[in-house]
Structure 1
């Protein structure tokens, strides 16, 4: 049987105080990894530490803005000095701004690209030297269906996530010879705090129109959960994926494979 254990590995999961990042970090801890995470606000770091404690997981949290290269370098140096060389990096931190393109400011567009594309580049750049020295490493970028598709109001997000898919492939191309695997996970529509407003019931008790839209477009006929990403994340961080590189694994309930039901 191939080895899915992460025993003794050091995993840095960015923005992992809740939601998808927390679920991935929990899965890694259950597989034996040491967990480190960061958030850009102290109250969010504290929230994450509380969540890990309630799960019985020992985790180290950092206050760090992943768009700040010097701050990321300092965080990685401290992790390497106090916990160990980072074996697994999950670029999970991200934002989305749902604004029609003609109404979106350049500043808002840049902010989304900074967090969703530039920050993963900064974090990968910071951990790769240690991975090269150690002779192995896993980098997992949280991409999106918007790495493949477009949709109204998410031009900045789609541009950033499309770029992240190509960054994933380029890291594979450039550092594969050092036994570093860089892959992506492309979540479908996941039931998290971020998407809660899109799933709220209407005053009459009916489903939100967007909720109905997603259910109709997803062969699985449901929203995903953060737990749906745990297995894929462990696979891509483990020895079982040592010959998988430059790939984006879409965990979307089949939505990318589906054009919808034929009208009756």
Structure 2
């Protein structure tokens, strides 16, 4: 069995997943990196190598549960253990319930909910044998805040939070902690994929509108979410399980944009 702890991260080619993998490597973990066949993992693996950590790459589509199960089997065959699972990968289409196709709906739920559920099950089988482990589901504040433009994604993220509570209850007596991280607006490729026409001007307007709702007045960088994930997997969070951790710069508790606050109290809320 490997003497170093092992973390498995889905959607590991970049964004939150890539930064999380590098952060785990810096903390002494070896990493299993799950990504799509066309993804470029080299920038992430180069940074992992610089830490002295080892990595195992498993390429495939999480809509295929045989691939997901194979990744767990490869990890156990290679290292004999898995200490942390981070269900980070996601897929979505910007559309409304009026127009979403069944194939899009089913793919979203498959990647964002079904794959995390069964990866958790298969990893937990090995974690239970050692009476310890951590499963972290990367959800979204959209699990509780809808916009009307991503029905399958919102439904999947709401269910992922509920699944977190269910798995924490099931696996807690075996020493396994299960948590959900709910990021807000993150400066990633997916975070920028917010306009159906992908016109730069439209995307910029949407970003400005979201920043107008965030008390910290900016989107987060992926490494800011990664630091939270790795902390939650550590013994510093040893009594945290069955809950969601919101990392959104204060957005979810906001009730009005700062442009409106400026109109109400201009001296206290200067116009940016």
TM (norm. structure 2) is: 0.87
Partner of 1:139: 135
SS class of match (1:170): helix
* Larger RCO (alpha carbons 8 Å, 6+ apart): 1
Does the aligned pair in 1 maintain the 2:68–2:115 contact within 8 Å?
Answer: no
Deviations 1:170-212 (A, max 9, x none): 0001110001000011111000122335599966xx9821011
Q: Distance in 2 between matches of 1:198 and 1:74?
A: 33
Unpaired runs of 5+ in structure 2? 265-272
How does 1:235-254 map onto structure 2 within 5 Å?
Answer: 235-254=231-250
State the Cα distance separating 1:15 from its structure 2 match: 1.3
Partner of 2:268: none
How does 1:175-186 map onto structure 2 within 5 Å?
Answer: 175-186=171-182
Deviations 1:79-107 (A, max 9, x none): 11112311000001111111021011122
How does 1:44-59 map onto structure 2 within 5 Å?
Answer: 44=39, 47-54=40-47, 56-57=50-51, 58-59=54-55
Q: Give the 3 Å change call, closer, same or farther, for CA 14–148 of structure 1 in structure 2.
A: same
Q: Distance in 1 between matches of 2:248 and 2:31?
A: 26
Partner of 1:222: 218
Q: In the alignment, which of 199, 209, 220 is matched to residue 205 of structure 2?
A: 209
Does the aligned pair in 2 maintain the 1:12–1:88 contact within 8 Å?
Answer: yes
Does the aligned pair in 2 maintain the 1:67–1:119 contact within 8 Å?
Answer: yes
Partner of 2:7: 11
Q: Does 1:119 align with 2:115?
A: yes
Q: Distance in 2 between matches of 1:147 and 1:207?
A: 22
Q: Distance in 1 between matches of 2:171 and 2:129?
A: 12
Q: Distance in 1 between matches of 2:243 and 2:45?
A: 30
Does the aligned pair in 2 maintain the 1:92–1:141 contact within 8 Å?
Answer: yes
* Number of corresponding residues: 253
SS class of match (1:81): helix
State the Cα distance separating 1:234 from its structure 2 match: 1.3
Q: Which of 61-70 and 184-193 deviates more?
A: 61-70
TM (norm. structure 1) is: 0.90
Q: Distance in 2 between matches of 1:100 and 1:74?
A: 34
Does the aligned pair in 2 maintain the 1:16–1:25 contact within 8 Å?
Answer: yes
